[in-house]
Structure 1
Amino acid sequence: MSRIEELIRELCPRGVEFQQLGEVARIKAGPNINKRLIADRPGPYPVINSGREPLGHVDHFNVEDDPIGIASRGSVGLVTWTKGRFFRGNLNYSCTVGDPSLLDSRFLYYYLLRSDPEIQALATHQGIPALNAGALKTLRVPIPPLELQREIVRVLDKFTQLEAELEAELEARRAQYEHYRAQLLDEAGTGAASVQLGDLGRIVTGRTPKSSDASAWGVEVDFVTPSDIRNGMKTVTAPGRRLSDAGAASMAKVVIPAGSLLVTCIGADMGKTVINANDCVTNQQINSIIPTKDVVVEYFFHLLTAMRDRLRAQGERAGGTMPLINKTDFSKIEVPVPSLEVQKQVASKLDNFDALVNDISIGLPAELAARRKQYEHYRDRLLTFKELAS
């Protein structure tokens, strides 16, 4: 019997109490922050807002040792752990434990990570997804004995450390690949004509059916959102939600045929590019390119992926707290278009290198994926509790 099983049998054999998150933690968003403020006051403190990566760095902080954050817009429900001093923005909720003798912050963080489906259910998904603080406070969380919480944290921290070591090695390989990719694309683009994205094909911005329209949702047609597109992914094959045939038919103008390019154009995770394996509909955070010219889609996947920082910078110039590239501006972005033969050669070379650092079926990515799957299995198992009968 494991130490955790011993503690459960000893300390809470009949189950554990559950409380609403708002009863055991304070939920509060930071103040407004935008790129202009960041540019005017550069400094060492990261700005944590709606994405995984800092929005920038400023010369002041408003958080110290209050590490749990939950994104309220864009990458809604994203749970982060940021140690030390930083600036929390208005699109990020702090989740501060009220009584450390009752609830361990790290335990709560792990529980929130495994609660993504429940958090998504509390959010609204019309337009830009949003998570209301009042709704978030209703999330039910277990309160096992503190000794049990800390033992679970110890086990999960070990998994997290092993995963981080593999990620660091993989990131080093990806840096090498990105250098090689930039070199190949620069050589291919030298002397090539520049063409606007809108001239490569039809640009389509997605739509989202109403959540209340049960007839629109089903299992027949892929419905792709930015959360379905992971960094390093080339082809999206299994999004989290699907539409019915009737739902897709009601939005026939925004159905994207397989083999198109999908590019996220709103939020901190903007600029991710992927090819859809199946016909799909996307939400409005994605602009799609349905090629009408004879082009090598894989080449433009690699080109747009390499342009992600440029796309993000253009979105940030729109101002406000949410980076955005609308359909019109997206259509006007210029890209070099070499000959079809060069496109094929570059795409073939980059596909091979891309697989070595991103394909989860081979090499180090496969080992990391297996480790992550194992971690998620144990995390969900360790954080599933029988509720104490009242």
Structure 2
Amino acid sequence: MSELSYLEKLLEGVEVEWLPLGDIGNFIRGNGLQKKDFIEIGFPAIHYGQIYTRYGLSADKTFTFVSSELANKLRKAQKNDLLLATTSENDVDVVKPLAWLGEDAAISGDMMLFRHEQNVKYLAHFFQSEIFQTQKMKYITGAKVRRVSSGDLAKIVAPIPCPNNPEKSLAIQSEIVRILDKFTALTAELTAELTAELTARKKQYNYYRDQLLSFKEGEVAHLPMGQKDIGEFVRGGSLQKKDFTESGVGCIHYGQIFTYYGTFADKTKTFISESLAKKCRKAQSGNLVIATTSENDDDVCKAVAWLGTNDIAISSDACIYKHTLNPKYVSYFFQTELFQNQKRQYITGTKVRRVNADNLAKILIPVPSSQEQSRIVSILDKFDTLTNSISEGLPREIELRQKQYEYYRDLLFSFSKPEAVTY
């Protein structure tokens, strides 16, 4: 019998009541604790930011500590409390849960504990479900910092099996947790295997890319990228994020090159108005768009080949490379150690690292025949798909494993809801 079939039999004839969280337990705000208060040994403590970065769904030990004197002034989580990070910069993460299974621990502000008599991991899984997330969305407030108040959280309804029989209710909740923990462990194992495979393939990809674009001395000409018959660099314009519109002329902001784009693109993520576009410098099909500033040396000069049919506007802190070469070939060249080694001598700045267009023009690029450029691109495209594609390849497989877990988790919480429960 499958896990889900077993659970279905267990739930047969069982009453499930959707209760407001405020009827199930109490929300208690944290207070006072800051990162500067951490010491190496002392009273266990949790800062709200660590729920995003250090913890998984549950924990019984902390990574940080505070003095006993400070701990006496702070609110403390007890075993079986659900800890919640109640502020975030995005809607998905706000109210991220942590099932606390350890001894007392001090908690910071910008988080709450939810004290209740349910299975804490059952609630933690529920807080990650689509059913909870859908209800949560209508209560989120704030602009840059997104938050949900305890009063609004108290209105959200959760499915409680056999609410009038606590012993049976906890037994059913424990069984749901056991199944979800099993799915979680399997997902983590498969994801770890796929991630290791992806890491190995990326190393292999990097090696072959550098080999394919490393020609023996005299085999091909190495020419300055700014040489007249090779290409020219054109600085971007004054486009800013606040200029984005829902539709209009496609545009690329330099920051998106780090976070959104890969080696090449034929569609933009964002747009600006046609009136503003007339004032902006534009990349044409086949041009490279290069981010000329970054906070670190590795990322500065990250490039994307624009392969779309329409001209697109480019922001400042980026430049356009107009050239006579295969655009993908040039974009792959920007990823090689050969390019990186030349680039480093031209980096300036302290906190913000940059390379200007004049210095980029001095970098030497190997220029084989157009047929050889196309052959190299064809090989590297296959590697790029395997290691970077979110619609194909290993990244897609990793994403599918996570979605599979989310599907079964949401299925387990999709009890029949009374008509009164709307969100």
TM-score band, normalised by shorter chain: 0.5 to 0.7
> 1:26·1:97 contact (CA, 8 Å) conserved in 2?
no
Code of the aligned partner of 2:234: R
Does 2:359 correspond to 1:332? yes
> 1:248·1:281 contact (CA, 8 Å) conserved in 2?
no
Aligned equivalents of 2:235 and 2:274: distance in 1?
A: 18
Percent of residue pairs identical: 18
- The residue correspondences of 1:1-390 to structure 2 (distance < 5 A) are 3=7, 13-14=17-18, 16-17=20-21, 63=64, 98-99=113-114, 107=125, 110=128, 131-132=144-145, 135-136=146-147, 144=158, 147=173, 150=177, 154=181, 155-187=183-215, 192-195=222-225, 200-204=232-236, 207-208=239-240, 210=242, 217-224=245-252, 226=255, 233-237=262-266, 242-243=270-271, 247-252=273-278, 253-264=280-291, 265-266=293-294, 270-271=299-300, 272-278=302-308, 279=310, 280-281=312-313, 287-289=318-320, 291-306=321-336, 318-320=349-351, 324-326=352-354, 329=356, 332-333=359-360, 334-341=362-369, 343-359=373-389, 364=394, 367-375=397-405
Cα RMSD for the two superposed structures:
6.0
259 and 283 in structure 1: CA distance in 2 versus 1, 3 angstrom threshold: same
Aligned equivalents of 1:331 and 1:295: distance in 2?
A: 19
Aligned equivalents of 1:298 and 1:375: distance in 2?
A: 37
> 1:69·1:95 contact (CA, 8 Å) conserved in 2?
yes
Question: TM-score normalised to the size of structure 1?
Answer: 0.56
Q: Deviations over 1:188-246 (max 9, x none)?
A: 798613446996332315623537xxxx6234444546568668933335555x436xx
Aligned equivalents of 1:329 and 1:167: distance in 2?
A: 36
Q: Secondary structure at the match of 1:210?
A: helix
Query: Following TM superposition, by how much is the alpha carbon of 1:180 offset from its aligned partner in structure 2, in angstroms?
Result: 1.6
Larger radius of gyration: 2
> 1:318·1:325 contact (CA, 8 Å) conserved in 2?
yes
Question: TM-score normalised to the size of structure 2?
Answer: 0.53
Code of the aligned partner of 2:213: L
Q: Secondary structure at the match of 1:193?
A: strand
185 and 218 in structure 1: CA distance in 2 versus 1, 3 angstrom threshold: same
79 and 283 in structure 1: CA distance in 2 versus 1, 3 angstrom threshold: farther
Aligned equivalents of 2:381 and 2:259: distance in 1?
A: 17
Q: Deviations over 1:138-191 (max 9, x none)?
A: 697668479489568624454343223212112211111111212233337986
Code of the aligned partner of 1:180: Y
Query: Following TM superposition, by how much is the alpha carbon of 1:298 offset from its aligned partner in structure 2, in angstroms?
Result: 0.9
Q: Which has the higher contact order (CA 8 A, sep 6+)?
A: 1
> 1:70·1:94 contact (CA, 8 Å) conserved in 2?
no
> 1:299·1:344 contact (CA, 8 Å) conserved in 2?
yes
> 2:266·2:306 contact (CA, 8 Å) conserved in 1?
yes
